[in-house]
Amino acid sequence: MVTPQSATTRPRPSRRTFLKWSAATGGAAALVSTAADLGMPGRATQAAAADGMPGVDATVWNACLANCQSRCPLRLQVKDGTVVRVLPDSTGSDEFGDFNIRACVRGRNQRERIYSPDRIKTPVRRTGPRGSGQWEAISWEEALDTIASQMRRVKETYGNEALWYHYGSGSTGGNITKRGTWPRLLNTYGGYLGQYGDYSTAQITAAFPYQYGGWMASNSLEDAQNSRLQVMFGNNPLETRMSGGGELAVVQKVRAEFGVRTIVIDPRYSETALAVADEWVPVRPGTDAALVAGMIHVMLAEDLHDQAFLDRYCVGFDEDTLPEGAPENSSYRSYIEGKGPDGVEKTPEWAAGITGVPAARIRQLARDIATAKPCAITQGWGSQRHANGENVARAVFTLAAATGNIGIPGGGNGAREGNYSIPVTSFPLFDGEAPPVSTQISCFNWIDAIDHGPEMTAVKDGVRGKDRLDVGIKLMIVNSSNTLINQHNDVHVTQETLRDDTKCEFIVVIDHQWTPSCDWGDIVLPATTNFEENDLIPGASCSDMGWSIIGDKAIEPLYESKTGYEMCTELARRLGIEEEFTQGRTQEEWRTWLFEQTRETVPDFPTEDELREMGVFRKKNPDGHVIGMKAFREDPEANPLATPSGKIEIFSQQLYEMSQEWVFEGDRAGDRLTALPEHLDTWEGALEARTSTFPLQCIAHHYKGRTHSSYANLPRNLEAHPQMLWINPQDAEARGVANGDTILVFNDRGTVRTQARVTPRIAPGVVSLPQGAWYTPDKDGVDVGGNVNTLMKYHPSPLAKGNPGHTALVDVRKA
């Protein structure tokens, strides 16, 4: 079914303004491409391609590099300089460690992306107010001269910390084609304000150091064949890792061959729950820590926990393992038993009132998890993408500890699944031991650094490397990123901040599709796709198999597009740092260097010619299955963690001290840091939903038709996977909404017009609007593209200052 939102019919006001201007100045052909311009085959030619397309000039290996982390190999068939067909991987088998890495609907639709009418054809410069949609075409010489001049001006006026390389994941799968070129240029020029965390994992990334001493992946999903039970908190590999050779394949094959009982805990009955789970536990968003507390209460009451593991490997579960100086009754056990400061016993009944999971079911879950030896406990990244996500992540870690499943075959440490990858050398982002500027802020709170940078401090805003910022962000490089607008919470706050060009004075956007973020640049540069340049694709991974792919140029750059390396080399020449930036190498010579460096550490890694012939180089984990924290479990004294105690810190002395020092002001006054992984009721959470004008908790699941916002503009993807709001039949009936109805989803931040998917596959009181749809406001400001950030609040999480993209309250009515 083709919906009104498919790219062939959906309105895009900003793009219409753009095309109206371009027609007035020489036509759309001056700026964006059309399929006819590019010689894209028509339907008859496509049909011929489906039958084998005899007489193609070449078949070229490359890969789908959007950020789902699968990195699927592709074979592009080229005829007369045009990609006429995209084929999947033809190597490998259906055996563990040798999977045929089949691309999904996104990767297979690369031709529609290469030849999209949204391709940017020439550099452009804004001529009206920022965001007004008024542009003029300029030459590359003028564009690069202007950018170099602005970089020089900002550095001389404000210093290097006023320069910012924007977070984004549109090219994450590449190597030279990754973000490496622009950060290397900025580092060669003296550095720039750094960033930590990412939009996907900020809260769990921040939680790891305080409980485990650093990032600690769990066991591989292939290792689940050794489990008696597999429990997945918000983990949905069948949609987020859709590659036929990726985790989707592993999870399905383990299920088919070993029949491991699986429980999925998620507000939504995901594809993973549908295909492999024996039990789905619908939990209210942001309440996983309460669910864990209720289960551990049962384990303690029935003596089902692993006390020996807790005594030897953990700090702070019990009073007698608390660090010196910790307050009395501040252990996790005291918290569970109601002896802590809140005085509330965390019974299953208490947890049921918060989570929506019945108390009897919580008891049974606790018994099932505690008595299944071993039990593979993992969490996806959806559970932690909340306003209390740091505590949610640590609570699942704690469940793994309480059951003694850490560091053993068939077990798990409560983190995301681990995997084996080939250590392919990365394109260097800087020369030397460290980048020249050490100051960092969270990748998510850049909007604050634009609006009031010098007011940002370490204890209030998480600034790292100094006590406070000296200057705000004055110049932004936005490369392969739609996060400037589309993927950042509260589109309207972002727009209002960016509109004032006395704050951030200059914005460069580099992309090959005209995304909603392009509308807010000062200069927009046309980039190549990865199929128009050469690269060595870094070590992708799936469970216990790693692989690498050669990225060969299939076609010449379309129109006036340039590679990132070419752009940066030209800028380096203008800034007087070309030799330092390039080290005398072309992009092709850098690729040869990457091969040489990789072969020094991976002796059986193929040469360029060998990899071109084979297309994909696979390598199975020589140690068998990935077992997270195996060495620590075997000998914690010889292999201590990087925590202060060397053990798993369920009570974190560091967090306790930070909770006394950190400052939360304004609308963030209710935020808290806690030494224990307590459940925290948050703004617009499950508790507030009971009394709010907007009573539905809105989450934003990843969607099969796109990776974040990549591929979101392709008509075939939109036709196969139209944007719809998932809503439970109870909630729909109360609002007079039927399946397929056009509806408005709204709160006091904005309104989205979309279609209703009425389904029992989502918990009552919860709705889900898939993230990544392109923001497309109509003349009244209603977003008809279905972008969930129209509704999301900009409010960084307490510890990570990360993206709380599943914390929002909304209501729904029939349009």
Q: What band does 528 get if pLDDT is binned at 50, 70 and 90?
A: very high
Cα 510–88–563 angle (5° rounding)? Answer: 20
Q: What is the pLDDT of residues 243-285, one digit of tens each?
A: 877 888 999 999 999 999 999 999 999 999 999 999 999 999 9
> What average pLDDT is seen over the chain?
92
- Whole-angstrom Cα distance, residue 59 to residue 43? 21
Positive or negative, the Cα torsion across 501, 504, 510, 512?
A: negative
**What's the average model confidence in pLDDT over 163-167?**
97
Q: What band does 46 get if pLDDT is binned at 50, 70 and 90?
A: very low
What φ, ψ does residue 247 adopt, rounded to 5°?
-65, -30
Q: What is the pLDDT of residues 624-648, one digit of tens each?
A: 999 999 999 999 999 999 999 999 9
Secondary element (H or E) of residue 813: strand 809-814
**DSSP summary character for residue 320:** G
Judge whether residue 2 has pLDDT over 90.
no
Residue length of the chain = 815
Q: What is the pLDDT of residues 633-692, one digit of tens each?
A: 999 999 999 999 999 999 999 999 999 999 999 999 999 999 999 999 999 999 999 999
Q: What is the pLDDT of residues 582-603, one digit of tens each?
A: 999 999 999 999 999 999 999 9
Nearest to 70 by CA among 780, 702, 636: 702
Cα 398–401–407 angle (5° rounding)? Answer: 130
Nearest to 397 by CA among 575, 208, 206: 208
**What's the average model confidence in pLDDT over 601-618?**
96
Alpha-carbon 338 to chain mean position: 37
- Whole-angstrom Cα distance, residue 488 to residue 169? 13
65-77 as b/e: b if 16+ CB within 10 A = bbbbbbbbbbbbb
Give pLDDT, residue 589.
98
207-219 as b/e: b if 16+ CB within 10 A = bbbbbbbeebbbb
- Encoded tokens for 804: 């709380």
Percent of the chain with pLDDT over 90: 88
Give pLDDT, residue 752.
98
CB 576: neighbour CB atoms within 10 A? 11
- Whole-angstrom Cα distance, residue 779 to residue 784? 10
Q: What is the pLDDT of residues 486-526, one digit of tens each?
A: 999 999 999 999 999 999 999 999 999 999 999 999 999 99
CB 804: neighbour CB atoms within 10 A? 29
- Whole-angstrom Cα distance, residue 785 to residue 772? 10
Q: What is the pLDDT of residues 755-808, one digit of tens each?
A: 999 999 999 999 999 999 999 999 999 999 999 999 999 999 999 999 999 999
CB 330: neighbour CB atoms within 10 A? 20
**What's the average model confidence in pLDDT over 604-618?**
96
Positive or negative, the Cα torsion across 301, 307, 310, 316?
A: positive
Give pLDDT, residue 31.
46
Q: What band does 11 get if pLDDT is binned at 50, 70 and 90?
A: very low
- Whole-angstrom Cα distance, residue 727 to residue 738? 10
Sequence-separated contacts (24+) of 651-657 with Cβ below 8 Å? 651/315, 651/316, 651/317, 651/322, 651/323, 651/326, 651/330, 651/331, 651/332, 651/675, 651/676, 652/210, 652/211, 652/316, 652/676, 653/323, 653/325, 653/326, 654/210, 655/210, 655/799, 656/326, 656/330
Judge whether residue 351 has pLDDT over 50.
yes
**What's the average model confidence in pLDDT over 38-64?**
60
Peptide bond into 374 cis (omega under 30): yes
If DSSP codes are grouped into helix, strand and coil, which group holds residue 620? strand
Q: What band does 50 get if pLDDT is binned at 50, 70 and 90?
A: very low
* Cβ pair 42, 48 in contact under 8 A: no
- Whole-angstrom Cα distance, residue 319 to residue 813? 51
Listing DSSP states for 47-91 in one string gives HHHHTT-TT-SEEEEEE--STTS---EEEEEEETTEEEEEEE---
Query: Which residues are paired to 377 by β-bridges?
Result: 231
Listing DSSP states for 420-441 in one string gives -B--PPPPPSSSSSS-S---EE
Q: What band does 171 get if pLDDT is binned at 50, 70 and 90?
A: confident
- Whole-angstrom Cα distance, residue 770 to residue 703? 6
Non-local CB neighbours of 171 within 8 Å, separated by 6+ positions: 65, 177, 178, 179, 479, 480, 530
Q: What is the 3-state secondary structure (H, E, C) of 20-33?
A: HHHHHCCCHHHCEC
Phi-psi region of 58 (alpha: psi -120 to 50; beta: other; left: phi over 0): beta
CB 369: neighbour CB atoms within 10 A? 24
Question: Using CB atoms within 10 A of its CB, is residue 712 exposed (0-12), middle (13-18) or buried (19+)?
Answer: buried
Phi-psi region of 345 (alpha: psi -120 to 50; beta: other; left: phi over 0): beta
- Whole-angstrom Cα distance, residue 507 to residue 504? 7
Give pLDDT, residue 311.
98
**DSSP summary character for residue 457:** B
Q: What is the pLDDT of residues 539-564, one digit of tens each?
A: 777 899 999 999 999 999 999 999 99
Judge whether residue 38 has pLDDT over 90.
no
Cα 634–640–645 angle (5° rounding)? Answer: 130
Nearest to 678 by CA among 698, 691, 659: 659
Give pLDDT, residue 285.
98
Cα 565–59–708 angle (5° rounding)? Answer: 55
Give pLDDT, residue 24.
33
- Encoded tokens for 209: 């150091």
Name all domains of the chain by residue range, CATH numbers in brackets. Answer: 13-114 (no CATH), 126-193+437-527+562-584 (3.40.50.740), 204-420+628-657 (3.40.228.10), 686-814 (2.40.40.20)
- Whole-angstrom Cα distance, residue 350 to residue 284? 14
Give pLDDT, residue 53.
61
